[in-house]
């Protein structure tokens, strides 16, 4: 019989037995089923009660409608040509026949190896249990699922008549459905879940339903999927612990200045503009991973913008407000704290997009305080903007705007769900199985605590972002209007360090590369290994991943990558050298509060507001 990737283990050689799937204590099992139903009732009540009170309105229909429309267009393409439809059906039928033949062979010739019709992709952790290959029933389920899901994906790939946006949406939705219907997600079709349920007489399901009820209650009627044990973590205690002070506070941002640890520092202070879609402390997660702490150790006087977690009071705060009351207010605060007008700036993700727009605006207004700009996984051109673009077309943006206008903001859980869906096979279904079916608490993990610490989106701010960037791509085309001015990225002539991540699903490396050509000055394009977070938060001491440097970011992206120089480890020291090559003048270290009153200790108050 065929083996799974883990077939080298001793227990894999043990024969599959029916006994492990038979209930040993029917009375206890029945009692636990009753307890599970009781907990399921509590989960249903937690879901229904806020809806009955009118506190929660369901918007599930909107994405489902879009998915149905997308699949309808896909079906129309295949069914419009009988020959094409027959060929598609034949491919699926052929795959099923191969699976069926293999299953018959295993049943009739016990112990004889057979080739799988299709194998899981490398790194797929769903089918590692030996029974997926050893037991004919579960092996049949696995192969039938893989054949079906890959056939569906190929339908999208080969639908030449679809426009690119519809094809992108169809591919995304097919992946979501495929991940959802995997046999690994259900008790009776997952051998490991089946055995655990039988071995514990269903107690795992009781615990799981209890956790489900708790998570729906925590989400105030919506499921707030727990991805880690959050209890060990506390902001300011074991997260965001780099010492510093709050040196400024506006309606949209607190400005943090960190304590120096070197006798001298670079003359130019460093102002970091993080995304407001997540909280800034991804750059200060713990002392070992903290980019902020590392930058302080290299001699930077580090200032960070900590964005407000908006509520109804901030519904009309626009991008201009975030520039004036965030970025430029930060520059004003840096000048008051240090006396310096020349600043190095970093923007991360949408914080980088805001920084780019601000630089274009400031160039027209004669504000030249920022002398170099670094962008972490930042898009300024959204032609190839990754899977988030699936959620952006006129109908969907209008629906989001309608939802936001009711409260003045978009609920943080909505954004968190969207980001989790980008990697649902890693960030949703493994936790659904572990939490609600196995009944096991997830392990503590600081990164997933940060991921779950979601933020709301102010209505005016988020609407401007969706329309001007994802929907209309105005920034790179010179058509974004701010403060009565049409912005041009070509006006940004200061040196730019443009960091992409090779496996980024939010700001794809290709998208960042193509955006480089719109800046008006020198651009250093660097591609880090890994993804949107790990590619950025990669301290040198970890000795992980690689980064690539090369010539100017022009021409074909694949050719640039092929010719690029591969460097092992972190890009952080490379960036430090780049900054110092522009200006390495040093001055005595600056302590927060020397020239102005401080407003409390870092990480401040805005970052502690939870949703």
d(CA 584, CA 344): 12
Name the token pair of 572.
């952080």
Query: Which tokens go with 578?
Result: 């780049």
Q: Which residues pair with 497 in a beta bridge?
A: 374, 524
The residue whose two tokens read 């978009």 is 410
Active-site residue (options: 240, 327, 349, 579):
349
Distance between CA 242 and CA 244 in Å, rounded? 6
Distance, C-alpha 375 to centroid of its chain: 18
**Shortest CA distance to 45 belongs to which of 253, 209, 227, 184?**
209
Instruction: Return the closest-CA partner of residue 222 out of 417, 425, 423, 430.
Output: 417
Q: Are 392 and 466 in contact (CB under 8 A)?
A: yes
Residue pair 302/272 in contact (Cβ under 8 Å)? The answer is yes
Long-range Cβ pairs for the range 86-91 (8 Å, 24+): 88/151, 88/155, 91/151, 91/154
- Give 590-610 as a DSSP string: --TTSSS---SBTT-SGGG--
- Phi and psi at residue 163, to the nearest 5°: -70, 160
User: Could you tell me if 12 and 130 are in contact, meaning their C-beta atoms sit under 8 angstroms apart?
Assistant: yes
- Cβ pair 281, 235 in contact under 8 A: yes
For 361-411, list the strands marked E by DSSP: 370-376, 409-410
Q: Residue 458 forms beta bridges with which residues?
A: 409
Q: Which run of H or of E encompasses 498?
A: strand 496-501
Nearest-angstrom CA–CA distance, 149 and 162: 20
- Report d(CA 400, CA 385) in Å as an integer: 19
DSSP 8-state symbol, 545: S
Residue by residue, DSSP assigns 313-345 as GGTT--HHHHIIIIIHHHHHHHHHHH----EEE
**Active-site annotation holds for 469:** no
Residues carrying an active site annotation: 349
């Amino acid at each position: 019989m065929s083996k799974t990737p883990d077939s080298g283990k001793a227990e894999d050689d043990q024969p599959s037995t029916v006994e492990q799937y038979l209930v040993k204590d029917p009375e206890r099992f029945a009692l636990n089923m009753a307890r599970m139903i009781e907990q399921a009732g509590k989960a249903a009540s937690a879901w229904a009660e806020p809806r009955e009170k009118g506190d929660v309105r369901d918007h599930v229909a909107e994405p489902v409608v879009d998915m149905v429309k997308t699949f309808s267009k896909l079906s129309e393409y295949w069914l419009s040509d009988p020959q094409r439809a027959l060929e598609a059906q034949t491919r699926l039928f052929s795959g099923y026949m191969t699976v069926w033949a293999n299953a018959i062979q295993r049943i009739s010739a016990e112990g004889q190896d057979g080739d799988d019709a299709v194998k899981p992709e490398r790194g797929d952790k769903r089918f590692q249990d030996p029974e997926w290959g050893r037991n004919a029933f579960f092996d049949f389920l696995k192969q039938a699922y893989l054949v079906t899901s890959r056939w569906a994906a190929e339908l999208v790939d080969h639908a030449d008549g679809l426009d690119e946006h519809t094809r992108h949406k169809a591919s995304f939705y097919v992946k979501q459905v495929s991940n959802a219907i995997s046999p690994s997600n259900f008790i009776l079709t997952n051998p490991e879940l089946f055995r655990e349920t039988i071995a514990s007489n269903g107690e795992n399901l009781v615990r799981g339903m209890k956790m489900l009820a708790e998570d729906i209650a925590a989400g105030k009627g919506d499921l707030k999927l727990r991805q880690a044990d959050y209890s060990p973590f506390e902001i300011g205690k074991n997260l965001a612990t780099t010492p510093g002070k709050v040196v400024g506070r506006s309606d949209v941002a607190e400005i943090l200045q960190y304590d120096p640890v070197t006798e001298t520092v670079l003359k130019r202070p460093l102002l970091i503009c993080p995304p407001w879609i997540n909280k800034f402390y991804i750059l200060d997660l713990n002392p070992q991973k903290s980019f902020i702490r590392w930058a302080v150790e290299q001699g930077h006087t580090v200032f960070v913008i900590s964005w407000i977690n908006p509520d109804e009071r901030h519904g009309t705060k626009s991008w201009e407000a975030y520039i004036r009351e965030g970025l430029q207010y930060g520059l004003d605060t840096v000048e008051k704290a240090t006396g310096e007008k020349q600043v190095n700036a970093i923007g991360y993700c949408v914080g980088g997009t805001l920084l780019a727009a601000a630089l274009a605006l400031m160039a027209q207004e004669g504000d030249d305080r920022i002398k170099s700009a670094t962008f972490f996984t930042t898009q300024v051109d959204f032609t190839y903007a990754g899977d988030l673009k699936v959620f952006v077309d006129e109908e969907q943006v209008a629906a989001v705007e309608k939802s936001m206008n009711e409260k003045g903001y978009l609920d943080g859980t909505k954004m968190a769900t969207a980001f989790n869906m980008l990697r649902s096979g890693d960030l949703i279904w493994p936790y659904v199985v572990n939490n609600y079916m196995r009944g096991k608490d997830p392990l503590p993990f600081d990164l997933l605590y940060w991921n779950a610490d979601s933020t709301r989106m102010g209505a005016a701010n988020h609407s401007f972002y969706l329309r001007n960037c994802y929907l209309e791509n105005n920034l790179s085309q010179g058509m974004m209007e701010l403060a009565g001015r049409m912005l041009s990225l070509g006006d940004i002539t200061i040196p730019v360090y443009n960091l992409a991540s090779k496996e980024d699903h939010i700001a794809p490396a290709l998208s960042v590369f193509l955006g480089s050509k719109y800046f008006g000055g020198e651009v250093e394009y660097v591609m880090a290994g890994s993804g949107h977070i790990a590619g950025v938060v990669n301290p040198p001491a970890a000795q992980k991943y690689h980064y690539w440097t090369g010539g100017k970011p022009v021409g074909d992206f694949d050719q640039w990558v092929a010719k690029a120089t591969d460097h092992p480890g972190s890009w952080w020291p490379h960036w430090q050298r780049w900054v110092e090559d522009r200006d390495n003048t040093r001055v005595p270290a600056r302590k927060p509060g020397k020239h102005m009153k401080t407003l409390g200790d870092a990480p401040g108050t805005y970052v502690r507001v939870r949703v």
